[in-house]
Amino acid sequence: MRASKGRIFAGIIILFLGVFMLLNYLGFITFRFALIWPLFLLIPGLMFEFGYFLSRKKNPSQLVPGGILTVYGLVFFLEAYYGWAFLSPVWPFLLLGVAFGLFQLYVFGYQDRSLLLPTILLTILGLSNIFQNYYAFNFQLAVPVILILSGLFLIIKRR
């Protein structure tokens, strides 16, 4: 029985990863896993993204995990590289990761307007916290007002 190209590629990757980890354990190479573990988020995220955009048969549900894992992988990679010095002001990007994934699903997929509300809320919360962290802009009043207005919108929205 013939193995698929995907299985062969996955087997080669897993084999090289195992050999690499064994060589590190035995001391033949020196490797700091703490610096590259975010690649385990970034690479699958990019694979989801490329899988959607390069595929003939489009599956928009790939974009949600693709967007989330790509943004999270980039944030954690930069944090690990710079010694976790920026996580306090960078955490709002984690909200933007989810918003990015949902937005891609809306644009390239289902065009379901119900995806827009969580996308907008997460984007507003993420950006407001970024502005607050980097520009000392006080959003302590803006965020509750936005949440209250969004909640009221959902309650009184006509079907």
| 8 vs 64, higher pLDDT | 64
* Residue tagged 């549900």 (tokens): 61
DSSP per-residue string spanning 18-53: HHHHHHHHHTSS---HHHHTTHHHHHHHHHHHHHHH
Mean pLDDT of 75-102: 84
Q: In this predicted structure, what is the pLDDT of residue 149?
A: 75
Rounded-to-integer distance, Cα 45 and Cα 62, Å: 9
pLDDT band at 113 (very low <50, low <70, confident <90, very high): confident
Q: pLDDT grade, residue 94 (50/70/90)?
A: confident
Over residues 36-46, mean pLDDT? 86
